[in-house]
Amino acid sequence: MSSAAENCNDLKTLIREVPDFPKPGILFYDITTLLKDRKGFARLIDSLTEYYINKDIDLVLGIEARGFIFGPALAYRLNAGFVPLKCCAGPTNWSTAATRWRSTRMR
């Protein structure tokens, strides 16, 4: 694990915990508090980039909804394409999804 990724534990303090939302017994993690902290958001993207930079990534698939937020920033930093994927009911064949987007490789 990279040094940047190892040093991200303090970023957890930037994520607000909302108990009993949307219903009793559920603990919701509100990432908007992380997103509005420019240094925290930058450190997160920098750390993800450092982890993936040497892995020959051609395409970043972002699964809704958080993937739509973090995926484009990471794809930009990796000089890769970005494809937003909407969740669907039932099993998903990711290879088929990638083929639909004319991807030759998935990582």
Are 50 and 61 part of one and the same domain? no
Of the three residues 54, 78, 95, the one that is the final residue of a domain is 54
72 and 97 fall within a common domain: yes
Give the range of the structural domain holding residue 21, as residue numbers without chain letter. Answer: 1-54
Examine the domain organization and report whether 42 and 71 are in the same domain.
no
> Residues 70-105: pLDDT tens digits?
999 999 999 999 999 987 655 556 566 555 554 444
Distances (CA, A) of 15 to 36, 61, 86, 92, 106: 10, 23, 24, 29, 30
Based on the fold, state whether residues 17 and 39 are members of the same structural domain. Answer: yes
| Beta strand residue intervals within the chain, DSSP E | 16-19, 27-30, 59-63, 81-85
Average pLDDT over residues 52-60: 95
Full-model pTM:
0.73
Residue 25 is classified by DSSP as T
Number of domains in the chain: 2
Same domain, 80 and 106: yes
Task: Note whether 83 and 48 are same-domain residues.
Answer: no
